[in-house]
Amino acid sequence: MDHKTPRIVIVPSPGISHLIPLVEFAKRFVSLHHEFYVTFIVPTLGPPSNTMKSIFEAVAPTIDSIVLPQVNLEDLPPHIPAAVQIQLTVTHSLSSLRNVLKSLISTSNLVALVADLFASIAHDVANEFYISPFIFFPSSAMGLSFCLYFPKMDETLTCNFGELQEPVKIPGCIPIHGSDLPNPVQDRSSEAYKSFLRLSKRLHLADGIVVNSFMDMEPDVIKALQEEDGGTGNPPIYPVGPIIQNGSSSVVDGSECLKWLDNQPPKSVVYVSFGSGGTLSFDQVNELALGLELSGQRFLWAVRAPDNKSANAGYLSVQNEDPLNFLPLGFVERTKGKGQGLVVPNWAPQVEVLSHNSTGGFLTHCGWNSTLESVMHGVPLIAWPLFAEQKMNAVMLCDGLKVALRPKVNEKGLVEKEEVGKVVKDLLESEEGERIRNRMKDIKDAATNVLSENGSSTNALSELALRWKNMRLA
């Protein structure tokens, strides 16, 4: 590679769920624009995991990675929210990032630094070297619109969002109740709120924002974002999605799931998973288990050990307990014995499960990676949001796109077994479930089209490539 070859630096934030879409974005970008090189510079709280290693082993020769020295957890404040911990990890890595960039500049034509939303503090270092700063927004355009609009909302807000009587109106979005907005903004006095506000303000300082969504999925929001572009200070928006993993990295480990699915009727199984970081309370795990059994429908459940208190994000923690020990007595044996269900601990090869002909629905936490994987494979949803921006995603999926059902929660915050049974059965057997399935098929077709040679997402990537090609270091 000579010094004129354009190179993009990508800085993810800690956590596999944020790394994966950035890697997939890089893979798609260089497959369409061969003249670019990409270097990942990865902040971390620990040594690279086997999952991270396997992810980087499967990339093109024009993509490489540098893992920064790990940040000592003892250097971070105790008992801080996961999102704040992630951002502080990046902040503590800035000195190492600066050294790597200094080295790369001597041998490369660095034209842009693309940071994950939670790694946007890296733009401070990019600016020192006159490298153009971009954001990769890993969630919905609706979430992006909220983030960009949030500083204005903060100026006029006199109470917490959950106390608002009227739904919140975000540009281009369907009205949403304040309690369905992201967890970090629910308490104005919290450090999480202040951190989110700082992040939102940083978005306006980027030279461009790449969002993992597409026009046919969120037309009104994306149009509103692009109309604001330049008018009130929004950076240019590049909707390049849906960008997802093409396959799980360890299908052999999930072969039991796939063999079991091979023996089920078409579109008959509900896949149940709350992602890499989602855990339920002990009581909710029991209600969910009994409800799945009560539904009489087939299910495949990747179950995690419950959290003693509430649903939470487990991105940065390790669970050693066997989750099957927390299920109702005899549940696994009964449901497996009568061929109704298969329960696997912690993990299933999600992409392969969703693409399997026997899968007819997905009970999901509404994380954006899982949402887009469902879209790409045309699988209708049961929306069960837990944390972060997932309630906002659930509102969009249920009320906006109408591709999901959302179970009712009782006054104790639990979805009772009868409600679980009803919503699972409705998705697979009712007329409403059929309408949802057909709607999801339409969106799947649209997703395929936007990724085609002249599709809108492919064109957005070309616009980005042209802009970066024309950039030179000052």
For residues 15 and 216, the model is more confident at 216
Identify whether residues 224 and 269 lie together within a single domain.
no
Lowest-pLDDT choice from 1-5, 283-287, 298-302: 1-5
Residue 191 is predicted with a pLDDT of 87
Q: What does the pLDDT average to over 292-314?
A: 80
Residues annotated as catalytic (active site), given as ranges: 18, 116
Backbone φ, ψ for residue 298 (5° rounding): -75, 145
Residue 310 is predicted with a pLDDT of 44
Residue 79 is predicted with a pLDDT of 77
What CATH number did the domain enclosing 113 receive? Answer: 3.40.50.2000
The answer to whether 342 and 244 have CB atoms below 8 angstroms apart is: no
Task: Examine the pLDDT at 349 and tell me if it is beyond 80.
Answer: yes
User: Is 326 within the bounds of a domain?
Assistant: yes
Task: Examine the pLDDT at 318 and tell me if it is beyond 50.
Answer: no
The model carries a pTM of 0.92
How confident is the prediction for the chain on average, in pLDDT?
A: 91
Identify whether residues 214 and 306 lie together within a single domain.
no
User: Is 246 within the bounds of a domain?
Assistant: no
Q: Which domain holds residue 430?
A: 251-448
Burial 148-164 (b: 16+ CB within 10 A, else e): bbbeebbeebeebbeee
Tell me the C-alpha to C-alpha distance, in Å, between residue 182 and each of 36, 334, 357, 393, 447: 36, 38, 34, 10, 26
User: Is 260 within the bounds of a domain?
Assistant: yes
Residue 228 is predicted with a pLDDT of 65
Q: How far apart, in whole angstroms, are the C-alpha atoms of residue 334 and residue 296?
A: 12
Identify whether residues 189 and 274 lie together within a single domain.
no
User: Is 474 within the bounds of a domain?
Assistant: no
**Spatial CB neighbours of 249, under 8 Å, sequence gap ≥ 6:** 51, 54, 55, 58
Q: How far apart, in whole angstroms, are the C-alpha atoms of residue 20 and residue 232?
A: 32
For residues 309 and 108, the model is more confident at 108
Identify whether residues 307 and 163 lie together within a single domain.
no
What percent of the chain has a predicted confidence (pLDDT) above 90? 77
Identify whether residues 325 and 220 lie together within a single domain.
no
The answer to whether 402 and 422 have CB atoms below 8 angstroms apart is: no
Q: What does the pLDDT average to over 104-113?
A: 93
Q: What does the pLDDT average to over 149-162?
A: 93
**Three-state SS annotation for the chain:** CCCCCEEEEEECCCCHHHHHHHHHHHHHHHHHCCCCEEEEEECCCCCCCHHHHHHHHCCCCCEEEEECCCCCHHHCCCCCCHHHHHHHHHHHCHHHHHHHHHHHHCCCEEEEEEEEHHHHHHHHHHHHCCCEEEEEECCCHHHHHHHHHHHHHHHHCCCCHHHCCCCECCCCCCCECHHHCCHHHCCCCCHHHHHHHHHHHHHCCCCEEEECCCCCCCHHHHHHHHHHECCCCECCEEECCCCCCCCCCCHHHHHHHHHHHHCCCCCCEEEEECCCCEECEHHHHHHHHHHHHHHCCEEEEEECCCECCCCEECCCCCCCCCHHHHCCCCHHHHHHHCCCEEEEECCCCHHHHHCCCCEEEEEECCCHHHHHHHHHHCCCEEECCCCCCHHHHHHHHHHHCCCEECCCCCCCCCCCHHHHHHHHHHHHHCHHHHHHHHHHHHHHHHHHHHCCCCCHHHHHHHHHHHHHHCCCCC
Lowest-pLDDT choice from 115-119, 230-234, 280-284, 462-466: 230-234
Identify whether residues 274 and 303 lie together within a single domain.
yes
Total domains, the chain: 2
Closest residue by Cα to residue 412 from 284, 306, 290, 326:
284
Q: How far apart, in whole angstroms, are the C-alpha atoms of residue 438 and residue 435?
A: 5
Residue 474 is predicted with a pLDDT of 39
Identify whether residues 274 and 290 lie together within a single domain.
yes
pLDDT in tens, 231-271: 556 899 999 999 998 876 555 566 899 999 999 999 999 99
Q: Is the C-alpha dihedral spanning 53, 57, 60, 66 positive or negative?
A: positive
Identify whether residues 455 and 437 lie together within a single domain.
no
Instruction: Name 362's bridge partners.
Output: 271, 381
The answer to whether 116 and 211 have CB atoms below 8 angstroms apart is: no
Closest residue by Cα to residue 343 from 322, 365, 370, 357:
322
User: Is 439 within the bounds of a domain?
Assistant: yes
Residue 253 is predicted with a pLDDT of 63
Identify whether residues 208 and 101 lie together within a single domain.
yes
Instruction: Name the pLDDT band for 132 (thresholds 50, 70, 90).
Output: very high
Q: How far apart, in whole angstroms, are the C-alpha atoms of residue 389 and residue 166?
A: 19
Task: Examine the pLDDT at 230 and tell me if it is beyond 60.
Answer: no
pLDDT in tens, 374-386: 999 999 999 999 9
Instruction: Name the pLDDT band for 315 (thresholds 50, 70, 90).
Output: very low
Residue 77 is predicted with a pLDDT of 74
Task: Examine the pLDDT at 342 and tell me if it is beyond 50.
Answer: yes
User: Is 194 within the bounds of a domain?
Assistant: yes
User: Is 384 within the bounds of a domain?
Assistant: yes
The answer to whether 66 and 96 have CB atoms below 8 angstroms apart is: no
User: Is 216 within the bounds of a domain?
Assistant: yes
pLDDT in tens, 27-62: 999 999 999 999 999 999 888 888 899 899 989 999
Identify whether residues 258 and 348 lie together within a single domain.
yes
Residue 1 is predicted with a pLDDT of 55
Residue 473 is predicted with a pLDDT of 43
Identify whether residues 166 and 209 lie together within a single domain.
yes
Identify whether residues 199 and 157 lie together within a single domain.
yes
Task: Examine the pLDDT at 314 and tell me if it is beyond 50.
Answer: no
